[in-house]
A and B are shown apart, each in its own frame.
Chain A
Amino acid sequence: MSHAEKDSFGAKLGMWLFLFTEMLLFGGVFILYSVYLTRYPKEFGLGGHQLDLVFGATNTVVLLTSSLFAAMSVTAIKRGAKQLTLGLLSGTIGCALIFLFIKYLEWSAKFHHGIYPNSPKLIAGPPGESIFFSLYYLSTGLHGIHVIIGGILMTWTAVMVQKGILNSADNVTLENVTLYWHLVDLVWIFIFPLYYLIL
């Protein structure tokens, strides 16, 4: 279209609005969490102790590191350091893959112990425990899907940086994708304490 010039402020405004919608999407899950927590505090506590703190904490560090790389990549591209940008983006994508792999290990361990949605063990157990693990799989699963989407977006951005479509003058797409990545990080920052720590 013949827009006189690219409106990067407008693009960021649109992205922020989209991030609001993502927060509200997860907000729905957090509403359910808070309602059921007040109803089954004991079962939620017991469920929380069954989660593996090492897996959770490692993933938190991995995701925070990836966010750091993502933020640095924005500064790098603004300075015109193409190779550095690409390296930092690869770091982000690498962290995303490590996160997903650890998640896979964690979920497999749970499955192995017979804890998965609708499993005979959970159906036989107290109602609150089944709710806790259903919410756990729902939150981490939905978050995992967002990690995958974020990883794909990061890869796509890296290709555009490689081709020079994104450069020191025009880089709002990279900035928007990193904003999205920070949201993915932020949601995890809420999920981690709610399920692993405070109970």
Chain B
Amino acid sequence: MSQDTAMAQGGFWRDTGRSGIGSWIFSTDHKRIGMMYLYCVLSFFLVGVVLGFLIRLELIAPGPTIVTAQTYNALFTVHGVVMIFLFIIPGIPASFGNLVLPIQLGARDVAFPRVNLLSWWLYAIGAVIVLVSLFTGGGAPDTGWTFYVPFSARTSTNVSLAVFGVFVLGFSSILTGINFITTIHRMRAPGMTWTRLPLFTWSLYATAWVQVLATPIIAITLLLVVTERILGLGLFDPNRGGDPVMYQHMFWIYSHPAVYIMILPGMGVISDIIPVFSRKPIFGYKMIAFSSLAIAAAGSAVWGHHMYTSGMSDLGVLVFSFLTFIVAIPSAIKVFNWVSTMYKGSISLEAPMLFALSFILLFSIGGLSGLILGAAATDIHVHDTHFVVGHFHYVMFGGTGFAFFAAAHYWLPKYYGRRYKEKPAIFGWILMFVGFNVMYFTMQVLGMEGMPRRYYDYLPEFARLNFVATVGSWILVAGIVIVVWNLWRGLFRGEPFTGNPWGGATLEWSIATPPPTENFDEDPVVTHGPYEFKGAGIP
């Protein structure tokens, strides 16, 4: 082992013999690209956290508190755009997907390494365009992240540039999807059959299909917003015969499947972590793999549930409501299988496992509250209230966000060769978990009581709960700061991390730490499944 670590000292960080920024931004190594994505998405996550923190601070009391109404509109718009398009969509697939996927397949890189680099460049360019749009033209967009017409076609803020930035980001997402599908089909090592694919890879496969099939629709829709503003096509303008509801349809044809781009990789992370920390093979491997595809397929046909109150036929409402309930089935299959995996396992409550466990709880709350929104009758009561805000933060942050941190605690030590301290990680996790629930559960109650979303001011009877939610946001932010700081400090200066201390059986645990540039010294031949722990245990 010692000889092994000596050889791999620095791994892909050093073994190319090149240094400087050029060795990163022009590198086609999937691990370097994954790292660049990781640093970008984490930075944007922290930016989004600050914006969200300010939104909550403004809402601590009725009336103007810290910002003007226009600034508030910009705050929630930019918070949404940054969190959705810059953090959560590329979040797990582009960062951890790039870091882990080829190694899990037994490949030396993705199928199209240069296209992979292009994806990152498009991501970076798109991000810069979005950032520039905040400070130029008529100021930061104030439409909400959904860019609904007719307001987005008329507002004097810099919507055109922001929307164009998101268009470029979509291109990046499509190319990543194409790359991953091709990689999974073509680059599997000998013996890596479809039923030996790790479930994280399965989830990336389903995600990649959604990225490829849904993203073009948002591309054309966003182009239409830009042309609407610049050329005045009038396609969504009722005065000219257009229909604004068509915009909403086209927007959600992408943006609802997009929530599965966000959540599926998170589910994959959880499916990989739970068996390792339960010391037990995954329960229902095939059903978990299949349910990812089922979610991707069924999720493509439910977009109308965002629009029950926008003007839709009763039949349309019923059909979309029914299809929405169908999506709950594969989601529940996953939850039951994760819980069954833990049954009679030897559960080890380390940081990755704690994040994974909280994922199950928070995602379940989010998923079940989603059914309240998906049911035609109850949706009328809670539509566009804080209940919706609470719901999607439970799924997106409680789900994908916690999965992101689970993945960070699980995989990053492998890539840095150093590890974080366990106690601060657990302490930070407790704060995050408590603060999260105080904040977002309160929001769901507020919504039930009728507090609308996106309002700058509110009635005095909502004051007490809003105060509670804001206090929750402070606890949550404190937790995030501790977790990120602990990761940062540990990965650069912590104890050395070698071998396979958690006893994972997927291929990334079989190679040197940190992985060398070409991953494998010789092409691996896979002889066992991803969750057959016998013999793969602690060295």
Chain A positions near chain B (C-beta within 8 angstroms): 1-3, 7, 9-11, 13-14, 17-18, 20-29, 31-32, 35-36, 39-40, 117-118, 123, 126-128, 130-131, 134-135, 137-138, 142
Stretch at the interface among B106-114, B266-274, B322-330, B524-532: B106-114
Q: If the complex has contacts A13-B186, A24-B213, A25-B220, are A131 and B113 also in contact, measured as CB distance less than 8 A?
A: no
B195 at the interface (CB under 8 A from A): no
B111 lies within 8 A of A10 (CB): yes
B182 at the interface (CB under 8 A from A): yes
Q: What 6 pairs between A and B have smallest CB-CB spacing?
A: A127-B241, A118-B232, A28-B220, A24-B216, A134-B233, A10-B186
Shortest B501–chain A CB gap in Å is 30
Interface residues of B in 218-236 (CB under 8 A from A): 219-221, 223-224, 227, 231-235
CA distance A18 to B118 in the complex (A): 14
A1 lies within 8 A of B111 (CB): no
**With a CB–CB cut-off of 8 A, which chain A residues contact B242?**
127, 131
Q: If the complex has contacts A3-B108, A14-B112, A131-B242, are A21 and B231 also in contact, measured as CB distance less than 8 A?
A: no
Secondary structure at the B interface, as helix, strand, loop or mixed, is helix
B246 at the interface (CB under 8 A from A): yes
**With a CB–CB cut-off of 8 A, which chain A residues contact B127?**
none
Contact pick for B109, options A1, A22, A131, A134, CB 8 Å: A1
B185 lies within 8 A of A40 (CB): no
15 pairs, CB–CB < 8 Å, chain A vs chain B: A3-B109, A13-B181, A14-B179, A17-B182, A21-B212, A21-B213, A23-B216, A26-B220, A36-B243, A39-B243, A40-B241, A118-B231, A127-B242, A130-B240, A138-B227
Give the residue name and chain of the B residue nearest to A13 (CB): B182
Chain B positions near chain A (C-beta within 8 angstroms): 28, 108-109, 111-113, 115, 174, 177-179, 181-182, 185-187, 212-213, 215-217, 219-221, 223-224, 227, 231-235, 239-243, 246, 250, 518
Q: If the complex has contacts A1-B109, A13-B186, are A137 and B178 also in contact, measured as CB distance less than 8 A?
A: no
Give the residue name and chain of the A residue nearest to B240 (CB): A130
**With a CB–CB cut-off of 8 A, which chain B residues contact A24?**
213, 216-217
Shortest A35–chain B CB gap in Å is 6
B28 lies within 8 A of A1 (CB): yes
Secondary structure at the A interface, as helix, strand, loop or mixed, is helix
Q: Which of B109, B177, B212, B235 has the most CB of A within 10 A?
A: B235
Q: If the complex has contacts A14-B179, A28-B221, are A117 and B240 also in contact, measured as CB distance less than 8 A?
A: no
Shortest B16–chain A CB gap in Å is 12
CA distance A126 to B177 in the complex (A): 43
CA distance A120 to B182 in the complex (A): 50
CA distance A27 to B214 in the complex (A): 11
A17 lies within 8 A of B233 (CB): no
Shortest A146–chain B CB gap in Å is 13
B108 lies within 8 A of A35 (CB): no
CA distance A193 to B239 in the complex (A): 28
**With a CB–CB cut-off of 8 A, which chain B residues contact A31?**
250
CA distance A11 to B187 in the complex (A): 12
Q: Which of B212, B241, B250 has the most CB of A within 10 A?
A: B241
Shortest B81–chain A CB gap in Å is 21
A21 lies within 8 A of B216 (CB): yes
**With a CB–CB cut-off of 8 A, which chain A residues contact B243?**
35-36, 39
Shortest B233–chain A CB gap in Å is 4
Known: A117-B231, A137-B233. 20 other contacts (CB 8 A): A3-B108, A10-B185, A10-B186, A14-B112, A17-B178, A17-B181, A17-B182, A21-B215, A21-B216, A26-B220, A28-B221, A32-B235, A36-B235, A39-B241, A39-B243, A40-B241, A117-B233, A117-B234, A118-B234, A131-B241
CA distance A143 to B112 in the complex (A): 27
B241 lies within 8 A of A130 (CB): yes
Contact pick for A138, options B177, B185, B217, B235, CB 8 Å: B235
Shortest A147–chain B CB gap in Å is 17
A2 lies within 8 A of B108 (CB): yes
Give the residue name and chain of the B residue nearest to A17 (CB): B178
CA distance A99 to B159 in the complex (A): 34
Q: If the complex has contacts A2-B518, A21-B212, A138-B227, are A9 and B186 also in contact, measured as CB distance less than 8 A?
A: yes
**With a CB–CB cut-off of 8 A, which chain B residues contact A117?**
227, 231-234
Give the residue name and chain of the A residue nearest to B181 (CB): A17
B241 lies within 8 A of A14 (CB): no
CA distance A131 to B224 in the complex (A): 13
CA distance A93 to B108 in the complex (A): 38
**With a CB–CB cut-off of 8 A, which chain B residues contact A131?**
234-235, 240-242
CA distance A8 to B321 in the complex (A): 44
